[in-house]
Amino acid sequence: MAGSTKASFQSKRSIATRSQNGCSNCRRSKKKCDEKQPTCTRCYQKDLECTRDAFTLKWESDFHARGLAFGRAGVWRKDASKKQNAENGNHDTTRPASLAIPTISHWSFLNTDSSSLQDMMSQHPSTSKIILMPARNVNGPPHAFERLPSISPALSVSPTVSNLGQSFLFDYYLHRICPRTTPSPVSQSPFASVILPYCLTASPVVIKALMALAACHWGQQDVRYAIHALKLKSQVVAEFRRRISSDRAFLVSPDPEVLVLIMLLCLYEIVDHCDRRWIVHLQGAKDIIRLRRQHQLSDTLLDHRDSDPVSEFVELFFAFQDVMGRTACAKADLFGPSYWRADDATINDWMGCSPGLVSILFAIMDLSRSRRDMVSASDELTFRARASNLQRRLEALVQQPAGGRGDETLCTCALHGARPSEPAIKATVERILEALWSLVAKGSVSHAMWPLFVAAVELDPLDDAVLRDPNTGIETHGRRLVLQLLSEMAKTSVSSVSRTRAVIEGVWQRRDFHLHNAQDGKTGRFSDLNDWERYVVPGSDALSLV
């Protein structure tokens, strides 16, 4: 009886001291693991990498060949040792084991699914130290990318890309970013047709900047890639500084590498936080472009914008960002009107509108700024005459159907101090939102950020628009529809949708707060500011609407 009790006590003691989630090193050494996270005490003392295997594959044929029981076979039987010995003696070790090969589908994991794998990684931080891999289907359709993960082979297009490693980021840029820069799937993106071929022949730092942009955009859904993007960006900035300090000719070289690097860094900051940092890149680009042109003139060289499509597009990128951004913040321009021909009504696929329309917008912004300098009745008459001329130019402008003019009408109305409560503004806002609702249903909203912003900030707080879905007939209110459209645009846009939404909500709050003060008999001191300057300009600095 005493012997049985002692044996039972030793058996329970051995079971109780067994670690349930011990690390691989302790299990391999048959030592008890204290299971401390992220590194157990034994691994810490021995300077070992502490990992915890999620599962271990065991093959029955291997156990039988060594004369061992597989799993718990025969452990709990009274005659386990005799029957197990008999089974081992009768087992034919020379007979090959036939194992069925499981079918691994495109989205399968071994013994678990994606949600279980994420839970496992959160419970065991050491397993998160993995090599970044294409965990999403970068070659699939855009709507599939947002829902399901996939592993897709990296695209091998250049030894430079392969040598840098993690070339799946290059795939992400090609299949996920480039399509988001055009209004429709049939349009050709200059980021693919112009920038990509140049990057493949440029220095490795340009490819690294392209990969940093891809990782930054990917990092909006997966924080691991955000950390990796920051590392890549730091390397690009360090190399950029080294080149500038060691080679002064780098800035004025006919090779547009310096402009491409600044453009990719500018896009990185827009995708990341969309704060003043991308404006710093924009200002730097303006100074470098000015130096390059002065150098070309001093060397009696031809204007490279006509012969160099890369420089031509990059300069257009900066100039367009400048115009569209200043519509919200009412700041002075950086690049001037020379990029916009008033007689060019051909819609640019990347911009989503014509240079002629941008020329009108540029003139509207300049006229709006000059309104603050009016001191006499003559100045006011001149202002109104110029505003009427811009209105006629806008009405006479003929573009393809994708151009649209409703949102620009709001800008010209803002020159005259129009408010959201006015019938013309209300009708225009409703027309814009209904058109954008239809575009969302067709999956073509990558270039709709600016018109949506303009319409959203001009919604009447006392009479929110009631709109009807053109396809289903379902009614919804203006502010709710704006938030729905922003959520859809986040899936198909390279712009910072979160920053745009924050600015729109800030405008709504300021309008609501002003109404509350007005009802209490409190009047705000806005001096001679118009409606746009009162509610939209505050908080809209450094906002990218491209």
Please check whether residue 119 lies inside any domain of the structure.
no
- Helix residue spans in 443-477 (DSSP H): 449-457
Q: 174 near 156, Cβ under 8 Å?
A: no
pTM tops 0.85, yes or no: no
Q: Which of the 8 DSSP states describes residue 29?
A: T
The number of folded domains in the chain is: 3
354: which residues sit within 8 A by CB, 6+ positions away? 344, 345, 346, 347, 348, 397, 399, 403
Domain that holds residue 320: 159-298+306-338
On whether residue 459 sits in a domain, the answer given is: yes
The verdict on 173 and 322 lying in the same domain is yes
Please report the DSSP string for 485-503 in residue order: HHHHHTTT-SS-HHHHHHH
What SS3 state is found at 475? Answer: strand
Q: Which residue has the tokens 């994708």?
A: 402
Closest CA to 167 of 202, 119, 117, 215: 215
The number of residues in the chain equals: 546
Q: Which residues of 505-544 are buried (b: 16+ CB within 10 A; e: fewer)?
A: bbbbebbeebeeeeeeeeeeeeeebbbbbbbbbebbebbb
Residues 219 and 317 in one domain: yes
Indicate whether 235 belongs to any domain: yes
Confirm whether 48 is domain-assigned: no
Number of H helices, E strands in the chain: 25, 2
Asked, for residue 75, whether it belongs to a domain, the answer is no
Shared domain check, 454 and 323: no
- In angstroms, the CA 464 to CA 456 distance is 11
Is 3 a domain residue? no
The answer to whether residue 81 is domain-embedded is no
Last residue within a domain, chosen from 416, 447, 482 = 416
Say yes or no: 433 and 491 in one domain. Answer: yes
**DSSP secondary structure, 400-429, as one string:** -TTT--HHHHHHHHHHTT--TTSHHHHHHH
The per-residue pLDDT for 212 is 94
The pLDDT of residue 55 is: 57
Domain boundary among 379, 394, 416: 416
* Pair (218, 282) in one structural domain: yes
Verify that 245 and 361 share a domain, yes or no. Answer: no
CB atoms within 10 A of CB 269: 23
In the numeric block, the tokens 């986040």 are attached to 490
My answer on whether 210 and 326 are in the same domain is yes
CA-to-CA dists, residue 179 to 108, 131, 240, 311, 417, angstroms: 28, 27, 28, 21, 38
- Rounded to the nearest angstrom, the gap between the alpha carbon of residue 161 and the centroid of all alpha carbons in its chain is 22
**Is the same domain home to 444 and 486?**
yes
Residue position matching structure tokens 């709109």: 467
Verify that 315 and 219 share a domain, yes or no. Answer: yes
Asked if 178 and 201 sit in the same domain, the reply is yes
Same domain, 406 and 293: no
> Mean pLDDT in runs of 10 for the chain (546 residues)?
50 55 84 85 84 66 70 54 48 54 48 48 45 45 36 47 71 88 78 91 91 92 88 93 88 90 95 91 93 76 61 94 87 89 86 88 85 81 87 81 45 61 86 83 73 90 80 83 89 87 92 73 57 87 88
Q: Are residues 493 and 407 in the same domain?
A: no
Whether residue 149 is contained in a domain is answered as no
